[in-house]
């Protein structure tokens, strides 16, 4: 958690929860797990068996965004998953309450558990409505997990986005209907798995055709920046249409 972030598509990170457990192949080389084990924030690998030990709530961090005066994009739980099964519903509601108090910021919530995200957030929006400053997204690393996009589409949100990072295979079955933003990136670090240019171009072309904002984060490799960020001679840094210009339509 910090006032600034090296992640290209956000400005800051906010971690009212830390720790997680792995659910699919994209988690295999999780950077958050690596950092947590290296610095002693977690004592055990992020397996389901260790989740009770690793998933930690930090209520003392809840009000941090209220102290940030200047508007920024905020990645929520870069070191966890807000919708992990061990994060209680009332605590998730507290996180959304804080986001509601900070309309000057745009909050980016990314989960590999979109089914729970849909269920929990629907209950919150029934009472409070859709927050125009909250973006909800899910991670999809290969075609086996494209069903997560369906759960995301069922989730009331001002902006829905997909992070195809690390992209581990082509996504021929991915449906971009009612998706506002697509992030694509290769894996980096020790043991990184390669990403083929054809997979990226296919997603880029389909996003352009569908009118979905496209953000190419990195090619990946030994380090995040070793392969650069250009795709076919240009950098793709598109974002969704400003929320003030959008019509908010609940599902």
Q: What is the pLDDT of residues 92-140, one digit of tens each?
A: 999 999 999 999 999 999 999 999 999 999 999 999 999 999 999 999 9
pLDDT higher than threshold 80 for residue 251: no
Question: Given pLDDT bands bounded at 50, 70 and 90, which one contains residue 242?
Answer: low
**Domain locations in the chain as residue ranges:** 12-245
pLDDT tens sequence across 4-41: 788 999 999 999 999 999 999 999 999 999 999 999 99
Calculate the average pLDDT of the chain.
Answer: 94
In 48-78, which positions are buried (b, 16+ CB within 10 angstroms) versus exposed (e)? Answer: eeebeebbbbeeebbebbeebeeebbbbbbb
3-state secondary structure of 52: helix
pLDDT tens sequence across 41-57: 999 999 999 999 999 99
pLDDT higher than threshold 60 for residue 245: no
3-state secondary structure of 215: strand
DSSP symbol at 34: H
pLDDT average, residue stretch 149-166: 97
138: nearest Cα among 157, 159, 163: 163
- pLDDT of 250 reads 45
pLDDT higher than threshold 80 for residue 1: no
- What backbone torsions phi and psi does residue 163 show, to the nearest 5 degrees? -110, 105
CA distance 205 to 195: 17
Find tokens 């958050």 and name the residue. 32
Residue 245 burial (CB < 10 Å; 0-12/13-18/19+)?
Answer: exposed
- Residues in a beta bridge with 110: 137
pLDDT tens sequence across 180-191: 999 999 999 888
pLDDT higher than threshold 80 for residue 234: yes
* Residues above pLDDT 90, as percent of the chain: 89
Cβ atoms 125, 154 nearer than 8 A? no
Cβ atoms 186, 165 nearer than 8 A? yes
3-state secondary structure of 122: helix
- pLDDT of 246 reads 55
- pLDDT of 226 reads 86
Structure tokens at 181: 């933003």
Q: Where are the alpha helices (DSSP H) in 160-226?
A: 197-210
Cβ atoms 68, 3 nearer than 8 A? yes
- pLDDT of 249 reads 45
5 versus 163: the higher-pLDDT residue is 163
Q: Cis peptide before 166, with omega less than 30 degrees from 0?
A: yes
CA distance 144 to 240: 26
- pLDDT of 12 reads 97
Rounded to 5°, the CA angle 158-224-140 comes to: 40
């Amino acid at each position: 958690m910090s006032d600034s972030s090296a992640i290209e598509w956000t400005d800051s990170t906010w971690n009212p929860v830390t720790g997680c457990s792995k659910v699919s192949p994209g988690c295999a080389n999780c950077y958050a797990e690596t950092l947590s084990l290296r610095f002693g924030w977690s004592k055990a690998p992020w397996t389901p068996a260790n989740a009770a030990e690793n998933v930690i709530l930090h209520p003392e961090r809840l009000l941090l965004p209220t102290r940030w005066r200047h508007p920024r994009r905020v990645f929520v739980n870069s070191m966890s998953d807000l919708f992990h099964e061990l994060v209680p519903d009332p605590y998730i509601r507290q996180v959304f309450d804080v986001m509601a108090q900070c309309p000057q910021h745009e909050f980016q919530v990314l989960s590999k558990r979109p089914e729970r995200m849909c269920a929990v957030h629907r209950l919150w929006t029934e009472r409070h409505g859709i927050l125009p400053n909250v973006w909800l997204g899910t991670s999809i690393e290969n075609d086996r997990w494209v069903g997560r996009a369906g759960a995301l589409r069922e989730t009331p949100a001002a902006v829905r986005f997909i992070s195809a990072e690390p992209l581990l295979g082509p996504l021929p079955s991915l449906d971009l209907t009612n998706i506002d933003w697509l992030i694509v990136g290769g894996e980096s670090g020790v043991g990184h798995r390669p990403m083929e240019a054809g997979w990226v171009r296919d997603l880029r072309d389909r996003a352009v055709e569908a009118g979905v904002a496209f953000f190419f984060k990195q090619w990946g490799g030994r380090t995040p920046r070793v392969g650069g960020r250009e795709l076919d001679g240009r950098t793709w840094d598109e974002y969704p249409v400003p929320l003030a210009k959008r019509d908010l339509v609940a599902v």
